[in-house]
Amino acid sequence: MPSVLNVDTLVAANGTDPVTLTKQSAAKAWVNFNGSGTIAIRDSLSVSGLVDNGTGKYAVAFSNSFANTNYAGNAGLCGFDDAGGDSNSPVVMLTRSQSNPFTTGDIDIIAAQRLGASGSFADPVYMAISIHGDLA
């Protein structure tokens, strides 16, 4: 007969650390936010805040630091609210520059709107990222 386990919160045996997942992988941090106008988080996991660094440029701070900078990230669900419609192809990247390398506590995002062969930074109304890796 199958067993059912109903819990509200899982923590490590010490009562404070996050649970270590074995033989499975789940996003350790994710966020869905409005990047247009006053930026705002719609929903998130392990994200402590957002910073608007200019048109199409954001920083996402993690609530729990990663063990190292070798984590993997995905960006998507990017949508622009404008008259361009389907002719605008969003381009979203998780990025760092040489002067601002990857860190265990946050990541930068850039969003651009591509029109034909050219493009420019733009503020998406819908933006979502997820990060996978080992927590510190």
Question: Model pTM?
Answer: 0.73
Is residue 83's pLDDT more than 60?
A: no
Q: Binning pLDDT at 50, 70 and 90, where does residue 86 land?
A: very low
Domain ranges in the chain are 31-132
For the chain, give the DSSP string. -------S----TTSSSPPPP-S----SEEEEEE-SSS-EEEEEESEEEEEE-STTEEEEEESS-BSSS--EEEEEEEE--STTGGGPEEEEEEE-BTTB---SSEEEEEEEEEETTEEEE---SEEEEEEES-B-
- The more confident residue out of 1 and 105 is 105
With a pLDDT cut of 90, the percent of the chain lying above it is 29
Please tell me the predicted confidence (pLDDT) of residue 74.
85
Mean pLDDT of 117-127: 77
Per-residue pLDDT of 11-69, as tens digits, reads: 778 877 777 766 667 889 999 999 888 999 999 999 999 999 998 889 999 999 999 98
